[in-house]
Structures are given as C-alpha cells and as structure tokens.
Amino acid sequence: MYIRMAYRTLFTLACALVFVSLAAAHELSFAQRMRIGNGPELQPGTYRVEVVKKSDSVEVTFSQGDDLMLTVPATLTQEASKCKSTEIYTETVDGGRVITKIRFQGSKESLVFTQDTPKAE
C-alpha cells in the first residue's frame, strides 16, 4: 500500500512539473516583420515565446520549431488585473513596427521591451 501511494505521489509531481513547464511557453503569430525593442527583426510567422526569469533579469526567447531565432532582455511589470487574451503593443519607428510590450492571456505580468530614443546632442 505504501508503494502504491509513493507511485501516485511521484506521478502527481511529474504531471505538475510538465504542466508548469508548458505554462511558461506561449505562441505568437506576426503578419508582418516586427522588431523587439532594440533587437533585430523577426520575419512574419508563428513563434514560440519563452520567458526565462533569472535572479536579477528577465530574458525572452523567440523560436520557430527547434531553431532559436532571438533572445532579448525585458522588464517584467505587474498589472492591476489578469489579461483576458494575449495583447501585443507596438509603435511605428522609422517606418517599421516595434514591439514595446506583451501581455499573455491569464497573466497579471507584462513584458516591457525598451526602445532607446535618440539623444539630442
């Protein structure tokens, strides 16, 4: 009986870890070329987006299939309420679209990508 309970506990823990790892990845689709903050451009398509939280920073990776396309730094901010659907905030800079913020469905956190503005000399 104790062995059966141990196996159930182990199975439950393994399932929980799988669900947590799946929740950290999101999927985004772009219909046009997009630049992420100060990073390079991403071509139109569907990307798997993963948020990697480190002790003092946050990195966001964009992949297609098994290919890592881009890794950019981001700032994680707290919003007042959960997001009902994934939202992508953009700006037009030099004729191109730049992603400045992403909010994922069901999360109170948002990712903010910095866009340096030219300084007057």
Residue 33 included in any domain: yes
User: What SS3 state is found at 31?
Assistant: coil
Residue 118 inside a domain? The answer is: no
Tell me, what's the pLDDT at 17? 46
Give residue 46's domain range: 25-112
Tell me the pLDDT tens digit for each residue of 84-112.
999 999 999 888 899 999 999 999 999 99
In a domain, 55, yes or no: yes
Q: What is the pTM of this model?
A: 0.71
At residue 49, what is the residue type?
V
Q: Say which amino acid occupies 39.
A: G
Beta-carbon contacts of residue 27 (< 8 Å; ≥ 6 apart) = 46, 47, 48, 49
**15 is a domain residue:** no
| Cα–Cα distance, 94 to 112 (Å, whole number) | 20
> Would you say residue 57 lies in a domain?
yes
For position 120, what pLDDT does the model report?
40
Asked, for residue 8, whether it belongs to a domain, the answer is no
* Residue 97 domain flag: yes
pLDDT in tens, 49-72: 999 888 888 899 999 988 999 899
Q: How many domains does the chain have?
A: 1
For residue 40, is pLDDT > 70?
A: yes
* Residue 117 covered by a domain: no
Structure-model confidence comparison of residues 42 and 11, the more confident one:
42
Map residue 115 onto helix, strand or coil: coil
